[in-house]
Amino acid sequence: MSNETLEVRIEIRVVDGGCQGQRWVGPRASPHPLKKLRLLPTSRLDLRGRKRPLSEPVEALVARRPGFVPPGFEEMFDERGQHDLGQYLYGQLFSSLAEQERLALEQAKEVCVTVVCQDVFLTSIPWVLLARDGYFLALDERVNWTIALAADRESLDRTVDFPSSPTMLIAVPNPCTAEYGETSAAEHVEELESALRLHHADLVRGKQLRVVDRWADLVDSLQTHPPDVLYYYGHGHGDRQVARLVFPHPEPGKGVQEIPVADLALRLQRLVRKPYIVYLNCCHGDAGAGLGAGRQLADTVPAVISNRSLAFVPQARAQAIRFFQQTLVQGERPHTAMRQLYQPQLAQDSVSNPRWMTPVFYRSYGPWLARPVIQSGWLPDTDWSARLDRDVQWAIVFEKTCDMLYGGARRGLAFLWYGEEGQGLDLFHQRLRTQFRKRLPQVCLLEYRPHWPDVLGAKDLSHEDVYGTLGELYQKTFGVQTLSDVQRAILRAADPQCPKTLVYIRHAVLTPRQVLNLRFLEDYVCWWDQMLPRMLGPGQFALLGISYQAAPGEDPETFQHLVAEQMQLEDLRYTHIHCHVLSRLGHVDRRHLRRFIDEIGFPLPANRREQIVEDIWERSEHGMYEKVIVALQALLRTLHGGQSPG
């Protein structure tokens, strides 16, 4: 643990109907008594000029649900309301500072505040809002405060030696029912794996990373391959009475299987080798207080992260990626990494929305020993590889999408692209997803991945057969009974703060192993045009992405000739969509590779730059897209290891 970190421990307990505690500022400090603390549910504070019991804002956080905002919530948790509550909490914990304490807090480069308590209500208080002199201390980079919870003081003496090459288990249940909407789980696993494998070559599926989506598979994996890190991303259900994780029911068609967090805690307690980190990234994972993630898991797991209230997909995903980059790659201590999670700009958010303060952290360790994987301070964006080349194709998609969203008469766009194996056809899907999120922050992007139907290559299907097959496919994808219910499923999954929602229908790449009847493709696009008005509600738009991989020896331009010229798929008489066939995804030329390396900011020696570019070009078979990325990843690992690139 850094010598520059000032450890502050505050113990609070409820005794004889009152609240009292002690404060330690520094490891060898004498305790400072905290008497008559006003931290009971009935304690009254001034919130936006109105006296309220402390229980009112605390319970409002727990009560918030999709489609339900408790009375007074927006007033209590706008900037002023958050600050009033944070200032009140700071006054309770840090009133009457001794001179030695004040100097220690002012001179420390980093302050770690751990609130030790067992009372259910005290645990539910959003301590991360601590505010002083007009600033939230968890956000103020001038003071670098981190705020954690702990159940007892003894757990803070535990030393953790975190492995340099950790194993990770990811659980991503995505039941897609009428009650529990799409979470973009597959997309999130992709982006997380991409962010980690660049530095941990073995942290990929099939090696030290395992991915499950059912409770039975999670239990089995815990027993057969106990992980160092357990990450749950999905739906949660919690209030003062229950705290549960939501999995698909083991029997198809029976909805969901709700698993108490206590059941997961019991499974972890039985492990001989327990996880060092558990991150439950779901709504209300810690809402149950004594039944929630923190209290159930903190005795077993040194670092536990969950959400105290309603979580939103873009913010939850961005926060998790940043946390694991900080801890697994850069060797940060979990409580220090939490400070990055609270930055509103992480997910293009604002402090005016309480979503920034959703994660809550439980700490049961003292010294945390970890070795950073990277030695360089430079770290590229997680989506850097998806931005290689393809600028012409991306520009067309982005321009047409903006035209549709802002003034166009159509509700949907269908894009088709093609190329050979190894040319990154699937990575172009990722390019669209990541760039849309960055370029259109006020648009909620939802990604759905329907499986291609088995009748894809059948030659004797009627239009009615195709339409019926597609209807069933979309109902299953959105977890609804009729196509008219799709718009409600989209509304449940969308961010209510975004005025527009873009639904991205992403199909797997059509490969030579799949027999494709091009007439099916034509029927699909025509069906999509006809059905969109039923499936989309106000402010909802759709984008369909289909990609085709040519067979070995097949000229990829044959697909373009058949679809665009012979079938004239772009020129059919559509009512609600436009269709575009993009140009071929081919090799990356030297000029673009050189420019890309400069734009991303690879720190290359000036006198070696041209030779390094030439080496990458040769190793990638003269610009084969996916081999260029592999070569660039190897270059990054070399740079981060502090070595000179060869």
Cβ–Cβ < 8 Å for 392, 572: no
Average pLDDT over residues 100-113: 90
Average pLDDT over residues 434-439: 88
Q: Tell me the backbone φ, ψ of residue 189, rounded to 5 degrees.
A: -60, -40
Distance between CA 600 and CA 627 in Å, rounded?
18
Burial class of 390 by CB neighbour count within 10 A (0 to 12, 13 to 18, 19+): buried
Q: Per-residue pLDDT for 345 more than 70?
A: no
Q: Per-residue pLDDT for 32 more than 90?
A: yes
pLDDT at 377: 54
Q: Per-residue pLDDT for 642 more than 60?
A: no
Locate tokens 């499923």: which residue?
A: 489
Q: Quick: pLDDT tens for 273-321.
A: 999 999 999 876 665 555 567 778 888 899 999 887 777 777 788 889 9
Q: Quick: pLDDT tens for 583-613.
A: 999 999 989 998 898 888 777 777 788 888 8
Q: Band of the pLDDT at 323, cuts 50, 70, 90? A: very high
Distance between CA 395 and CA 428 in Å, rounded?
12
Q: Quick: pLDDT tens for 36-67.
A: 999 999 999 999 889 999 999 999 888 887 77
From 69-78, 191-200, 307-316, the region with the lowest mean pLDDT: 307-316
Cβ–Cβ < 8 Å for 119, 13: yes
pLDDT at 1: 38
Question: How high is the mean pLDDT of the chain?
Answer: 87
Q: Quick: pLDDT tens for 458-499.
A: 777 888 888 999 999 999 999 899 999 999 999 988 888 889
Q: What residue type is assigned to position 499 of the chain?
A: P
- In 3D space, the residue among 152, 106, 112 whose CA is nearest the CA of residue 128 turns out to be 112
pLDDT at 143: 81
> What is the edge-to-edge ordering of all strands in the sheet holding 256-260?
236-238, 243-248, 256-260
Both tokens of 635, joined, read 């270059």
Intra-chain end-to-end CA distance of the chain, in Å? 35
Locate tokens 């994780």: which residue?
A: 245
Q: Per-residue pLDDT for 2 more than 50?
A: no
Q: Band of the pLDDT at 3, cuts 50, 70, 90? A: very low
List all residues 6 or more positions away from 516 whose beta carbon is below 8 Å from its beta carbon. Answer: 456, 457, 510, 548
Average pLDDT over residues 155-170: 93
What predicted TM-score, i.e. pTM, was given to this entire model?
A: 0.77
Q: Band of the pLDDT at 93, cuts 50, 70, 90? A: very high
Distance between CA 284 and CA 407 in Å, rounded?
38
pLDDT at 577: 96
Task: Please report, for residues 55, 298, 363, 637, the alpha-carbon distance to residue 550 in angstroms, rounded to integers and kept in the order given.
Answer: 62, 52, 52, 32
Buried b (16+ CB within 10 A) or exposed e, 233-268: bbbbbbbbebbbbbbbeeeeeebbbbbbbbebbebb
- 347 or 239, higher pLDDT: 239
Average pLDDT over residues 545-549: 94
Task: Please report, for residues 57, 122, 135, 327, the alpha-carbon distance to residue 48 in angstroms, rounded to integers and kept in the order given.
Answer: 12, 22, 16, 38
Percent pLDDT > 90 in the chain is 51
Cβ–Cβ < 8 Å for 197, 204: yes
